[in-house]
Amino acid sequence: MINIVLFGPPGSGKGTQAQNLIEKFNLKQISTGDLFRYNMKNGTALGILAKSYIDKGELVPDQVTTDMLIEEVKKPTNTNGFIFDGYPRTANQTDALETIVKDILNDEISVCLSLIVSDEILVERLLKRGETSGRTDDSNEEIIRTRIKEYYTKTAEVAELYKQQGKYVEVNGVGGIEEIAAKLFAEVEKISL
């Protein structure tokens, strides 16, 4: 199996590039953002709790996120692996993901692909997305900058853990969608051959 952690700050293109990777390698995407939105839209207890953090530009606590993720990984799938989009974001989540993949899938994380984009481009992208998405966390520049800052603060340790395992690869997330996708495909092909 191919199990990819797709990494990058809010607005770096994780969702778009996850779709390209899904089509190319027959993978199932597990996006914590999608899990949050599904649970919030349906008014679940986990969704209400997650929304209270997201609306302030904060990351959702590990256990809430992990519980949502476990339920999704357990669902049957006929794919060649998974893309974890937006998870892990902390060292604790990294450990939890390793355990989930090992215990439930009897496998391991193949690679962490990190999309690199400057803060100013991220803010611009998110404000533009906020014009049409209806997402409250994409319409306020101060909240966006808080999200970006918090992302870097909390995820630096995750990047370091994957670097220590030799599984961390940075990819320039600025440019044409197809150009970025080609770079990601090349990295996945290195580990799947």
| CATH code where residue 150 lies | 3.40.50.300
What's the 3-state SS for 120-142?
HHHHHHHHHHHHHHCCHHHCCHH
Predicted confidence (pLDDT) per residue in 30-67, tens digit: 988 788 888 899 998 888 998 898 889 887 788 888 98
d(CA 152, CA 16): 21
Q: What is the pLDDT of residue 172?
A: 96
* Residue for token pair 């966390």: 137
End-to-end CA distance of the chain: 11
Residue percentage of the chain with pLDDT more than 90: 60
Is 108 or 34 the better-scoring residue by pLDDT? 108
Task: Count how many domains the chain has.
Answer: 1
What's the 3-state SS for 74-97?
HCCCCCCEEEEECCCCCHHHHHHH
163-188 average pLDDT score: 95
pTM: 0.83
Residues that are catalytic: 14, 89, 129, 135, 147
Domain interval for residue 172 = 2-192
